Amino acid sequence: MINVTERFLRYVKFDTQSDESDSIPTTPGQIELAKVLVKELKEMNLKDISLDKYGYVMANLPANTDKAIPALGFIAHLDTSPDMRGKEVNPLIIEDYDGGDIILNQEKKIILSPQDFPELLNYIGKELIATDGTTLLGADDKAGIAEIMTAIDYLNNHGEIPHGKICIAFTPNEEVGRGADHFNIEIFGADFAYTIDGGPIGELEYENFNAAGVKVRVQGRNIHPGSAKGKMINASLLAQEYIIQLPMDQTPSETEGYEGFYHLTNIRGEVEEAELRYIIRDFDLASFERRKESMIKIAGRMNEKYGKNTVTVEIKDQYLNMKEKIEPVKHIVDTAFKAMEAVGVNPLIRPIRGGTDGARLSYMGLPTPNIFTGGHNFHGKYEFIPTFAMEKAVDVILKIIQLYANV
């Protein structure tokens, strides 16, 4: 049986970085990893294994008892973030972390330091996996995939452990907010599920941001600068004017806890045309709607000043706070809490300052809270994960399954 670290190190070699294209999945590497997972699932003799045209992998391990047990689902996503390069990932393994600086890349002088990331000091004496400073690591969410696969493989090799039907799924395009677009809940077959897509060890989450993506387009007028007075409309400068009308103290770097934000993720601009891309996040639905309205109002004011349709705003909702759908079946959170305690993990119930496939799936009729993978600093070159945390995630999955079987 392959351990969780071996699986993880194998999966991160696949370039599954998603993008904003209209393809499904958005990038071909996601299908390549999906095919490998299908092959491994077949080797485990799971049932109803499928890889559909959209890139969703599904399978199940049938119940081995006649006892009435809910069908449990476990879900992770195939893609990695568009925020940083995910090709040619070369993990750095620190076997016995001593509490000092970790040189990720000598040539580029990239250092993972506890001065910047004090949480490293929680892992003195532990084995860590980090990046080489040139890519992200991909623990979000290949650690989740590895943890689910390892747990299922363990169950498959220990038939003496009673369990109900266990459903697993690996989804594409989660990082661009489209992971549940074509998720077939009926085929999946679970009564409720867990995404294995959280951060540091112990995280247990059933609240998340309400989320939307925003495109702000600015139409300019390019005139030779020598004769531009009263005629030129510089779209790049107008884009800057738009940016400064949003509150600078409501950005990701200035907010925490239940505070929402506007996040400028991309700027593209010339004199003739410019485009801004934002994401809006807020836990409170009314405040979320006000944020969307404020972006539209800024465009309206600028159009009064510079002319109709100079600035256009396109807003697309991505997912909603799952709390409303989880609370009526709170036992799924309570059971995960008990499972963590039983395997020696301190449960940390906190809101997700982000989202998972589970947010949308919960509104589609499949309540799906989120459990830790063990990783830190997702989406960038300072990403790392302790291997013992991945092992504990496997233990938690197995314990949840056992707790439901013993009810």
How does pLDDT run across 175-214, given as a tens digit for each residue?
988 899 999 999 999 999 999 999 999 999 999 999 999 9
Q: How confident is the model at residue 1 (pLDDT cuts 50, 70, 90)?
A: low
Does 107 lie in the same domain as 194? Answer: yes
Does 390 lie in the same domain as 258? Answer: no
Could you tell me what percent of the chain has a pLDDT over 70? 100
Mean pLDDT of 24-49: 96
Check residue 23 and give its pLDDT. Answer: 86
Give the distance from CA 34 to its chain's centroid: 17
Between strands 128-130 and 384-386, the pairing is antiparallel
Last residue of a domain, one of 267, 286, 319: 319
Residue 385 near residue 137 (C-beta atoms within 8 A) = yes
Does 165 lie in the same domain as 117? Answer: yes
Mean pLDDT of 29-37: 97
Mean pLDDT of 252-258: 94
Mean pLDDT of 78-86: 95
CATH code of residue 108: 3.40.630.10
Give the CA dihedral 202, 197, 320, 136, nearest 10 degrees.
120
Rounded to two decimals, what is the model's pTM?
Answer: 0.85
R_g (Cα) of the chain, nearest Å: 23
Does 128 lie in the same domain as 236? Answer: no
Mean pLDDT of the chain: 96
Check residue 70 and give its pLDDT. Answer: 96
CATH code of residue 219: 3.30.70.360
Active site residue 119: no
Does 394 lie in the same domain as 273? Answer: no
Of 175-179, 223-227, 248-252, give the lowest mean pLDDT range: 175-179
Could you tell me what percent of the chain has a pLDDT over 90? 93
Does 146 lie in the same domain as 15? Answer: yes
Q: How confident is the model at residue 355 (pLDDT cuts 50, 70, 90)?
A: confident
Mean pLDDT of 297-324: 95
Integer CA distances (angstroms), 141 to 369, 378, 383, in order: 15, 9, 12
84-96 pLDDT, tens per residue? 999 999 999 999 9
Does 86 lie in the same domain as 52? Answer: yes
Does 187 lie in the same domain as 171? Answer: yes
Check residue 366 and give its pLDDT. Answer: 97
Q: How confident is the model at residue 120 (pLDDT cuts 50, 70, 90)?
A: very high
The one catalytic residue among 15, 40, 79, 383: 79
Last residue of a domain, one of 319, 352, 383: 319
The one catalytic residue among 40, 140, 141, 174: 174
**What is the residue range of 313's domain?**
213-319
Distance, in Å, from the CA atom of 49 to the CA atom of 203, rounded to the nearest integer, reads 30
Residue 107 sits at φ, ψ, to 5 deg, of: -65, -40
**Total tally of structural domains belonging to the chain:** 2
Record the tokens describing residue 282, joined without a space. 């807020």
Check residue 354 and give its pLDDT. Answer: 80
Mean pLDDT of 322-326: 94
Does 64 lie in the same domain as 182? Answer: yes
Check residue 2 and give its pLDDT. Answer: 85
Check residue 356 and give its pLDDT. Answer: 80
296-305 long-range contacts (CB < 8 A, ≥24 apart) are 298/242, 298/245, 298/246, 299/216, 299/242, 301/245, 302/238, 302/241, 302/242
Give the distance from CA 347 to its chain's centroid: 20
Active site residue 197: no
Mean pLDDT of 21-48: 95
Does 72 lie in the same domain as 130? Answer: yes
Residue 187 near residue 58 (C-beta atoms within 8 A) = yes
Check residue 403 and give its pLDDT. Answer: 97
Does 203 lie in the same domain as 233? Answer: no
149-160 pLDDT, tens per residue? 999 999 999 999
Distance, in Å, from the CA atom of 279 to the CA atom of 263, rounded to the nearest integer, reads 5
The one-letter amino acid at 44: M
Residue 85 near residue 135 (C-beta atoms within 8 A) = yes
Last residue of a domain, one of 319, 352, 386: 319
- Give the single-character DSSP code of 197: E
Mean pLDDT of 248-274: 96
Mean pLDDT of 243-253: 97
Q: Which of 272, 275, 276, 248 is nearest to 262 (CA)?
A: 248
Query: Is 168 in a helix, a strand, or coil?
Result: strand
Does 33 lie in the same domain as 155? Answer: yes
